[in-house]
Structures are given as structure tokens and as C-alpha cells.
């Protein structure tokens, strides 16, 4: 069945995660994605760990199903080829530092002058202007400026830390992909033809993290009732033999927790009887100490059934290896295993969205660097002589 973006052509000239994952989302919804990479090593993630040939695990996860072209954009002939590809494209996504694409001759003004229906997406660390615009950026740099390490603090070891995944890259990718589909929808309704979309990673990180991370920094005034922030509540709970996670948000869940731990009387204590009283700092700390002491009298396997019986949200702490055998992960078929003739068996997360009428069958393949160069260029009118000329000039691989 054709996906919702079937017939949409995307040129991905981005690298690492923010741009490639944006385009991967579009590909998983049916778009044709042509990935333009520099000759030599290609996308930087190709040379990462857990690699076979020019394909690493990280590259495969963000570039599956795309057609790879190896193209030298430092040469005028390479720029000409890129312009030909973009002439009938719907979307171009790039994440060079501000100004780079204009100097290369593939900036939004140039390409949209030739194709007025083009949706041109510029992802950058901080935006096109400002004191940080020329900084070289990776995910942890954005995390730091956005303040995320300051809340990644263990309650016993008060040292800030990074979120140990590419959280800002992936937040930006998701927001950029949604912006692309919104721009395509606006184009379809006649609100606009093409348009230039700018997506700074810093702004994306703040937008994405704001609802919980900045709870204590949103309201001002004497009538604001204080309390614990989500980041101060989130923690692993120690048991007699390990750890688990639980979370209570309502009275019924909190009182169920008290009963599961063998202390129903806590619900009658004025300090703990209402959400408002439990949120007061001194009461929150006192209750936390009582809960901890109760938990460490149980093993994980003993207390989890008690919590579930009382409808308390809870779960064991899976290792990464455990995830593959988790009953719900298996039931959902969340992880897909496929075989690549060069790499062998590959496991990847299946696209999570289930479409009732436009479900797209993901393309379970990953190109070597430049693997589709000839096929894509032939589909754009390049014949044997033109391809030979480009090879001789070291414009294509």
C-alpha cells in the first residue's frame, strides 16, 4: 500500500542524525529519499563503530531505504548535478553551518528560484544569526546550552550529566519532519508554493523539553504554588535486590502504593493525604524517605505484583539485552530483523506509527556509499557519455 507521502521526492544533503533522521521519518511515510553524500567517506556516521564496509549501525538506522549518491559539491559540475536533482524535488534538507550552502551555490534562494514549489529545510545548531551561529555543533553542545545537564542529577551524587542519547538531534529531526509535512499540506491547500523552513537545534531542544524541565521557570508572582519538578521525582527505586521504576500522579495511585508497601495508614496522615500536601517540599522529602525504607524490605519480584494489583504504574528496569525479549516489545513486533547480503542479520526499530489506510511498507535496505549514483542520475536524464564525463572529472564516485 502506498504511504501518505508516496510521490514526494526528498533530497537529503544532511549528515549525522538531525537531518538524516528527519528524512528517514519521511521515507518511512512513503517519500522517495535521495541521499547526497561527499565522495570519500560520505556521511560522517558511516565510519562509526559497529560497521561493515561503509555502513555502520548508526548510519543504517537513520538512512535505511534511501538512495545514496556520492557527489563532489566543491566542483561546479557537482553543483550542477545537485541543482538538476533539486529541480523537480519537493523537499531539500540540509544541516550545514549557516551560510555554507549559499557559498556552495545550493542555498534556498538559488534552488527555490529554479523550483518555486520546493520546501527547503535548514537545520542548524543555533540558527542563521546570533553570537553562536558559527559554532561547530553536536548534540551534547546543544544539551549544555539548553540546560539539560543541570537536571540530569542523581539524588545521591549531585553532579550534572548529559542525557546519554542524542536527544536534541532526534527532537530536532522529529520537529523538522512534522514541519515538512505541514508545509506540504499548506502547499497542497494553496496557502504557499515552496518555502524555506529553519529549524535551530537549540530552539527545538527548549521547545521539546519545556513542559516538564522548565516547570519552575514558567510562572511568576506571589500566587504560584511551588512543588517538586518532574526531574526531581524521576528516579530509579532501589529494592532489596535491585531496582524498579514506579510513578504516581493521582490519589488512587498514591494510596495504592501505600497499600502495596504495607502502609495504608499513610493515606490518613495529613502530610500525605492530598496531592497538594504531598507536593510541599518537607512532606515530599519525608514521604520519600518512608517509601524508600519500605521498598528495600522487598525484592523486586515480590513487590512488582503488589504494585500492579493496586494499579500503581511500575516496571522492571530492562537492560538493552532484555528489551528484545520483553513480552510487550515482542507482541508489538517493535523490532524488525532483516538480512542484508553484505552485512548479514540486522535488527532495527520498526516505524511506530500504524496507519489505517495508508500504511507504508518500510524499505529494509541500506546503500553503500554512492551505490545508487548511476541509477538516480540516469533517471534524471544523464546518459553514458554524461556519466563518464562526471567520473573522469571525479565529480561522482
Q: What is the pLDDT of residue 119?
A: 98
* Residue 108, domain member (yes or no): yes
Residue that is last in its domain, among 277, 292, 316 = 316
Q: Give the residue ranges of the chain where pLDDT is below 70.
A: 155-156
Catalytic residue among 72, 139, 169, 367: 169
Model confidence over 148-197: pLDDT tens digits? 999 998 766 778 999 999 999 999 999 999 999 999 999 999 999 999 99
- Whole-angstrom distance, CA of residue 207 vs CA of residue 233: 21
- Is the domain of 201 the same as that of 291? no
* Residue 204, domain member (yes or no): yes
Model confidence over 3-28: pLDDT tens digits? 999 999 999 999 999 999 999 999 99
Residue that is last in its domain, among 267, 284, 316 = 316
Q: Which residue range forms the structural domain that includes residue 91?
A: 9-210+330-392
99: left (phi over 0), alpha (psi -120 to 50) or beta: left
Q: Which CATH number does the domain housing residue 383 bear?
A: 3.40.50.10540
- Whole-angstrom distance, CA of residue 382 vs CA of residue 386: 6
- Is the domain of 39 the same as that of 101? yes
Q: What is the pLDDT of residue 225?
A: 84
Please answer whether residues 81 and 387 qualify as being in contact, where contact means their C-beta atoms are separated by less than 8 angstroms: no
Q: What is the pTM of this model?
A: 0.94
* Residue 44, domain member (yes or no): yes
* Residue 180, domain member (yes or no): yes
Asked about 161 being catalytic, the answer comes back as: no
Q: What is the pLDDT of residue 136?
A: 94
Q: Which CATH number does the domain housing residue 242 bear?
A: 3.30.1540.10
Count the domains in the chain: 2
- Is the domain of 258 the same as that of 302? yes
- Is the domain of 278 the same as that of 383? no
Quote the cell numbers at residue 261. Answer: 508497601
Amino acid at each position: 500500500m502506498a504511504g501518505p507521502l508516496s510521490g514526494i521526492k526528498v533530497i537529503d544533503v544532511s549528515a549525522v542524525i538531525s537531518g538524516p533522521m528527519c528524512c528517514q521519518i519521511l521515507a518511512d511515510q512513503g517519500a522517495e529519499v535521495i541521499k547526497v553524500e561527499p565522495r570519500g567517506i560520505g556521511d560522517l556516521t558511516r565510519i562509526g563503530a559497529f560497521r561493515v564496509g561503509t555502513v555502520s549501525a548508526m548510519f543504517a538506522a537513520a538512512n535505511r531505504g534511501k538512495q545514496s549518491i556520492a557527489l563532489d559539491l566543491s566542483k561546479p559540475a557537482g553543483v550542477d548535478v545537485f541543482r538538476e536533482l533539486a529541480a523537480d524535488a519537493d523537499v531539500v534538507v540540509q544541516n550545514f553551518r549557516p551560510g555554507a550552502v549559499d557559498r556552495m551555490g545550493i542555498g534556498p534562494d538559488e534552488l527555490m528560484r529554479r523550483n518555486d514549489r520546493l520546501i527547503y529545510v535548514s537545520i542548524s545548531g543555533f540558527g542563521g544569526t546570533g553570537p553562536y551561529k558559527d559554532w561547530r555543533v553536536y548534540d551534547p553542545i546543544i544539551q549544555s546550552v539548553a540546560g539539560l545537564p543541570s537536571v540530569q542529577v542523581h539524588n545521591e551524587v549531585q553532579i550534572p550529566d548529559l542525557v546519554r542519547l542524542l536527544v536534541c538531534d532526534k527532537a530536532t529531526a522529529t520537529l523538522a519532519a512534522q514541519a515538512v509535512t505541514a508545509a506540504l499540506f499548506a502547499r497542497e491547500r494553496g496557502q504557499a508554493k515552496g518555502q524555506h523552513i529553519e529549524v535551530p537545534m537549540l530552539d527545538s531542544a527548549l521547545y521539546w523539553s519545556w513542559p516538564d524541565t522548565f516547570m519552575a521557570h514558567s510562572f511568576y508572582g506571589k500566587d504560584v504554588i511551588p512543588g517538586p519538578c518532574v526531574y526531581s521525582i524521576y528516579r530509579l527505586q532501589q529494592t532489596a535486590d535491585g531496582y524498579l521504576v514506579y510513578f504516581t500522579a493521582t490519589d488512587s495511585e498514591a494510596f495504592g502504593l501505600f497499600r502495596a508497601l504495607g502502609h495504608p495508614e499513610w493515606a490518613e496522615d495529613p502530610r500525605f493525604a492530598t496531592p497538594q500536601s504531598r507536593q510541599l517540599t518537607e512532606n515530599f522529602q519525608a514521604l520519600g524517605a518512608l517509601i524508600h525504607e519500605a521498598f528495600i524490605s522487598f525484592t523486586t519480584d515480590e513487590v512488582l505484583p503488589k504494585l500492579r494489583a493496586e494499579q500503581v504504574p511500575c516496571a522492571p528496569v530492562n537492560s538493552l539485552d532484555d528489551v528484545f525479549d520483553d513480552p510487550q516489545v515482542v507482541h508489538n513486533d517493535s523490532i524488525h530483523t532483516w538480512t542484508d547480503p553484505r552485512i548479514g542479520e540486522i535488527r532495527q526499530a520498526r516505524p511506530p506509527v500504524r496507519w489505517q489506510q495508508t500504511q507504508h511498507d518500510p524499505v529494509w535496505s541500506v546503500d553503500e556509499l554512492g551505490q545508487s549514483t548511476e541509477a538516480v542520475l540516469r533517471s534524471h536524464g544523464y546518459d553514458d557519455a554524461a556519466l563518464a564525463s562526471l567520473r573522469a572529472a571525479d565529480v561522482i564516485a
